[in-house]
Chain A
Amino acid sequence: MSVEPEVPIVQVEEVRENPVLYKIISSDNHVFTISEHAVKLSKTLWDLITNLGLTAENALDNPIPVENVNGKNMETIVQFCERHKYDEEEPEYTNYIREFVLPEWDRQLLSIDNEELFQLILATNYLDIQKLMDYCCRVIGDMAKDKTPEELRIIYGIPTDAEDDALERSASDSPGPSG
């Protein structure tokens, strides 16, 4: 005789198909809809949602303004979170370096201009999305593979010692606010 499970699997599927949705407004007034599972990847947003007491009933009527992130970055972030919302939690890493393979989908998503990547990382840092931060940092770290210090200086915009010294001298020579 087979025993029926207490919680049928179909219920889980229903949750996936009818998720609780939240609205987010970017700094340039673009509106995004994001599911509950996806928004949980952002510690900042989820803390905000719980602190505001948003529920399944009132979530869509109370859009969350995010002043520090523009629409372009928010679009990437929403895509990323929706893509990874059912991922298993990563085990805590205990040793350097973090070992993971950057999936091709994410590599494509993050194949953007350096300036855009810079802004995306600042947004990711503000919204506290660890997985996206790991992936972005991996993209930046991979830029350094098989490069000499000279090339690294160009890639990461690192001034030479002479340039740093000159900058320091000019800063100390220039009159201060009272001068």
Chain B
Amino acid sequence: MNPIRLFNFPYVVQREIMDSMDLQTIFLLSISSKKMNNLILSVEKARFNKIKYILYDMNLEASIEAVNYNHTSEVILTMDTTMVLGIYKKKKLYISDTLIESKWYTARRTKTAFADEVFESVQKHSYGLFGDNKECKLDINIYAYGFRLPKLKNVSGSNIHIVPSVDGKTLNDYFSASPNQDFINLFGVKPGKLKINSKLYGINCIHTFDGKSQIVPNLLRKFAGKHAFMITLKLDHRDVIQFLKKWKSNELFEKLEILQVTLRDNSDSEPMNPVEIRNAIAIKTLSESVNSPVYNCKTSFGIRRSAS
């Protein structure tokens, strides 16, 4: 059958045709040629302007979605991560010169995962469609060894839950691409190679579950953001005393408004002695007549979307 040549239609018809396509089709169509990419850009500009941010999501399957200002969302690309599924099983797909084929998985049995390359290549290509300043969010919730976080730009918030752990070097690399993030929810960090001046410490709001009690002491020394919520199993009272002294004296933590550490029950750890801490830093109880300041802070990743 002869092709139906999109370029031969009048402009208004081209727009009607593209309006009838889902975003995943539009995205794949934009890869077909530069000229087509330019046509899509001119025809679908209004559609792309409705996008608030791009969500890079890696859970049971990997997906990239456009979340609109009205909280509806559209899939840009989605694939099964544990096997190369469906249409791409025997076909090659190139995005920004990256071959998306058998690389699209988080190997459960092997030790390599390549989803980061796919996310990066999609972002690179999407600059030509959505512009290079579109806000992004990353939501990763997986079990994988050696998982490399994608070096995405313009990330405003992240939810990183990698089992068994995510190492410091991976976080350094991740934050080097998007240093000005507003929010992160972090699970299972092995901070061994985390740089002293890592941008992680400068995030506005951090939530972390520190099962191995490794990142909390670092945060108590270096956190430069506004809000920190930490859950840990162990906490040395000397770290707490040192932190409180530096905060009180304005030596550090100038921007800090709220810091909360929750100690999970753990029979192995030494019990905290609050009296010792109180005595060390001379805590005073506020008079009831003094109004405590009120701070607003983020308590969740803030993804609100529904299928459009």
Contact = CB atoms under 8 A, between A and B. Distances in A.
Interface of A: 95-98, 113-115, 117-118, 121-122, 125, 133-134, 137-138, 140-141, 143-161, 164
Given A147-B28, A153-B32, A118 B92 contact: no
B29 A96 contact: no
B20 A98 contact: yes
Contacts of A155: 3-4
Given A143-B4, A145-B25, 11 more contacts: A95-B308, A97-B23, A133-B16, A140-B20, A141-B20, A146-B87, A148-B28, A149-B93, A150-B91, A158-B32, A159-B35
A96 B23 contact: yes
A98 B31 contact: no
A153 B17 contact: no
B26 to A, nearest CB: 9
A114 B4 contact: yes
B19 A140 contact: no
B56 to A, nearest CB: 20
Contact of B87 (A97, A138, A143, A147): A147
Contacts of B12: 125
A157 B72 CA distance: 32
A155 to B, nearest CB: 6
Q: Pick from A145, A148, A151, A160 the residue with the most CB of B within 10 Å.
A: A148
Contact of B6 (A113, A134, A157): A157
Contact of A157 (B4, B10, B25, B31): B4
A152 B16 contact: no
7 contacts: A98-B19, A134-B20, A144-B21, A144-B28, A149-B29, A157-B4, A157-B7
Contacts of B127: none
B33 A97 contact: no
B45 interface: no
Contact of B19 (A137, A143, A158): A137
Contact of B20 (A114, A138, A149): A138
A68 to B, nearest CB: 12
A121 B19 CA distance: 15
6 A-B pairs with the lowest CB-CB distances in the bound complex, closest first: A157-B3, A157-B5, A149-B31, A137-B20, A141-B20, A114-B4
Interface string B273-297: 0000000000000000000000000
A105 to B, nearest CB: 19
B236 interface: no
A interface majority secondary structure:
helix
B13 interface: yes
B17 A140 contact: yes
A145 B29 CA distance: 11
A5 B196 CA distance: 84
Interface in B37-59: 47, 50
B260 interface: no
Contact of B32 (A114, A133, A152): A152
B72 A97 contact: no
A112 to B, nearest CB: 11
A148 B33 contact: no
A65 to B, nearest CB: 22
A163 B68 CA distance: 36
A80 B31 CA distance: 35
A114 B93 contact: no
B86 A146 contact: yes
A40 B32 CA distance: 39
A138 B3 CA distance: 16
Contact of A114 (B3, B23, B25, B36): B3
B70 interface: yes
Nearest to A138: B20
A121 B15 CA distance: 13
A138 B7 CA distance: 17
Contacts of A113: 1-2
B28 A117 contact: no
A48 to B, nearest CB: 20
Nearest to A151: B91
A141 B87 contact: no
B264 interface: no
A114 B308 contact: no
Contacts of A157: 2-8
A144 B25 contact: yes
B38 to A, nearest CB: 10
B308 to A, nearest CB: 5
A158 B6 contact: yes
B72 A149 contact: no
